[in-house]
Structure 1
Amino acid sequence: MKDQIVKDIHEFETIIIHRHVRPDPDAIGSQCGLAEAIKAGYPEKKVYVVGEIPESLEYLHKMDQIKDEIYQEALVIVCDTANTERVDDVRYNTGKKVIKIDHHPNIEPYGDVLWVDTTASSTSELIYELVDTSNGKLIITDEVARLLYSGIIGDTGRFLFPSTTERTFAAASALVKKNFSFTELFDKMYETSIDMAHLNGYVLQNFSLTEEGVGHINITKELMKEYGVTSEQASLAVSSLGNIKGIKAWVIFLEEENVIRVRLRSKGPAINDVAAKFNGGGHPLASGARVSSWEEAEEVVKELKRVCQQF
């Protein structure tokens, strides 16, 4: 499959790379790392990266603004996106050929070529392997290394998550040989605004923990306004509950205009099936979903209690 993808990259003159909405470092790292690796190997090709990027991730890369007609004869590659609903920029399916590269469960196969490997820690890890085995057609520059390393770090929690394997360390080992600043990258990835620090404090003081080991908290629109944070920023507060003693799985609910976003995490019980029941999905230990009311949010907590009790 990697050979086929490299062959397609070689044959197309225009390549447009997408990833999922509400991107994280792995989405940006894999998307833009692949783009830069193609540019380094094929300077004559037209390579674009598209999608909305949050201010908090602008330090990683800048997105391109392109016209619809550019897609007509283009190869489109979608990174780190399990289902079509989450692809950022719906024009992805107007290209001549579509490739899916992902490490999430393949709940919705799409595209003409699919490379999905759920044993990989991240899609950035897969992109590293694609470049590394391309026989020099794609090139790992310092910038490619910085982008892919950020994606691996982001999706493994700095190598702390169970998805980290020898394969992950092998990729990271090769990438850190390139010339980029780990300190500067970590500072950007993990710096917290004063507003978010205050919100994290609120979450730690006000979350509930059930006897089954489920942590949960509701973050309303009024609360986000009070703390001066967006829903996207507030979603990062989910990580603040990860070190609580006795917690097995946890969820934060984020109220938006017409939907309540659900951010799920776990230390062991598989939660992606719970997410799937509520218009979502993801990894066994990190998933997302959405519900339409606080009553439905309570049903999510009940499901989490069930899986934690069975664990």
Structure 2
Amino acid sequence: MKEAILENIKQYNKIIIHRHVRPDPDALGSQGGLAQIIKDSFPEKEVYMAGEEIGSLTFLVRMDELTDDMYEGALVIVCDTANSPRISDQRYASGEKIIKIDHHPNEDPYGDLLWVDTSSSSVSEMIMDFYLFGREHGLVLSKKTATLLYSGIVGDTGRFLYSNTTERTFRYAAELLAAGAEVHELYEGLYKTSEPLARLAGYVMENFQTHSRGRVGSIHLTKEILERYNVSVSEASLLVNAFSHVEGMLAWAFFVDEPDQIRVRIRSKGPVVNGLARQFNGGGHPRSSGATIYTPEETKEVIRGLIEIVQEYTPVS
């Protein structure tokens, strides 16, 4: 599959790279890292990045301004996006050929060419894998690319704390450091916190709820709370793991009001939660998923479902 992707990159003169809405470091790291590899390796090609920007992450990479006609005859590559409705900028479908590169379960096999590897910690790790395959064929890894890919790996592994961290993850991270990834500046950018967000974090820690004898946690950040602390939806979502280390906690749901819906993030230390997410217009990884609901009553349904999953869970010894 990597060989086929490289051949397509060589064939097309215009390449547009997308990723999911509300991008996180892996979405931007894989998108920007792949774009930079292509730019450095094939300077004659036109390479663009599409999608909305998140202010707190623009220090990583900036998007390009694209017109509709730019998609004519273009190769489109979509990174880190399991479901086609979540692709940022739906003009992706106007490209001549579409490649999907992802590490989520392949429940929506969109595109003409698919490379899905659920064993990878992140799509940034996959892009590093792609570079290592292609470096004998002319692919170049710059210091800028190394920093972007490292940011994606760090973001999706929680600084190497999550169970998706493997021996390969550490090997690739070491190679990126050797290539010049600017780790200090990266961490400064990724983990700096505004005063409003810090105060909201205090609210979360004081007000999260526990269920099922402390094994399930939840909190609902309403529109009123976000306005009180002057924090955006995307900023508030950074606190999804704020109470994850509470002793006995196995799974938790983090609800954040958006203008016309309630965004749900479901996390776990073992129980499989993506099936629950699929019941509520979502999906994702077995231990890290997202969903969309529309009423406070549905928040209770999600919590009940999470409690049932935890009660049926048997830890692997």
- Name the residue aligned to 2:204: 203
Residue 117 of structure 2 is aligned to residue 151 of structure 1: no
- Supply the distance in 2 between the matched residues of 1:173 and 1:229 (Cα, whole angstroms): 35
Q: 1:252·1:263 contact (CA, 8 Å) conserved in 2?
A: yes
The equivalent of 2:233 in structure 1 is: 231
State the partner residue of 2:307.
305
Pairing 1:2-81 to 2, within 5 Å after superposition: 2-81=2-81
Which amino acid in the other structure matches residue 139 of structure 1? V
Deviation at 1:132, TM superposition (A): 1.1
| Counterparts of residues 128-147 of structure 1 (less than 5 Å) | 128-134=128-134, 135-147=136-148
> Are 1:176 and 2:177 an aligned pair?
yes
CA deviation profile, 1:65-96 (whole Å, cap 9, x unmatched): 01111111100000000010000000101111
- Whether contact under 8 Å (2:218, 2:303) holds in the other structure is yes
Contact 2:150 2:181 in 1 (8 A): no
The one-letter code sitting in structure 1 at the alignment partner of 2:160 is F
| Alpha-carbon distance, 1:181 to partner | 2.3
Report which stretch shifted further, 252-261 or 36-45. Answer: 252-261
Alignment partner, residue 246 of structure 2: 244
Deviations 1:216-245 (A, max 9, x none): 111110100000001111111112011111
Task: After superposing the two structures, state which structure 1 stretch, 234-243 or 292-301, moved more.
Answer: 234-243
How do residues 265-276 of structure 1 correspond to structure 2 at under 5 angstroms? 265-276=267-278
Tell me, yes or no, if the aligned pair for 2:255 and 2:262 is still in contact at 8 Å. yes
Q: Following the alignment from structure 1 to structure 2, what is the Cα–Cα distance between the partners of residues 29 and 180? A: 12
Distance 2:85 2:129 in 1: 27
What letter corresponds to residue 158 of structure 1 in structure 2? R
The amino acid that maps onto 1:260 is: I
- Alignment match, 2:220: 218
Contact 1:73–1:95 (Cα < 8 Å) also in 2: yes
Counterparts of 1:230 and 1:292, CA distance in 2: 19
Moved over 3 A (4+): none
Code of the residue aligned with 1:155 in structure 2: it is D
Most deviating of 134-143 and 281-290: 134-143
In structure 2, the residue matched to 1:296 is 298
Alignment of 1:276-295 (within 5 A): 276-295=278-297
The 1-side partners of 2:144 and 2:132 are apart by 15
- Partner of 1:239, secondary structure, is coil
SS in 2 for 1:176: helix
RMSD: 0.8
Amino acid at match of 2:107: I
CA contact (8 A) 1:41 1:136 kept: no
Instruction: Indicate the SS of the match to 1:241.
Output: coil
Provide Cα deviations, 1:144-167, integer angstroms capped at 9, x if missing partner: 100000000000011111111111
| Structure 2 equivalent of residue 165 of structure 1 | 166
Q: Is the Cα contact below 8 Å between 1:103 and 1:117 reproduced in 2?
A: yes
Q: Distance in 2 between matches of 1:192 and 1:244?
A: 22
Residues 282 and 290, structure 2, Cα contact 8 Å, conserved in 1: yes
Q: Give the distance between the partners of 2:117 and 2:131, measured in 1 at CA.
A: 16
Whether the aligned pair in 2 keeps the contact of 1:99 and 1:112 (CA below 8 Å) is yes
C-alpha distance after superposition, 1:246-287 (max 9, x if no partner): 111011111122111101111111111111110011111111
How many equivalent residue pairs? 311
Deviation at 1:308, TM superposition (A): 0.6
Secondary structure of the 1:9 match is helix
Structure 1 residue 136: Cα displacement: 3.6
CA-CA distance at 1:137 after TM superposition: 2.7
1:83 is aligned to 83
Q: Which runs of 5+ in 2 are unaligned?
A: none
- Uncovered stretches (5+) of structure 1, i.e. residues with no partner: none
Distance (whole Å) between structure 1 residues aligned to residue 9 and residue 80 of structure 2: 18
Point out the more displaced range, 19-28 or 127-136. Answer: 127-136
Q: What is the letter of the counterpart of residue 285 of structure 1?
A: R
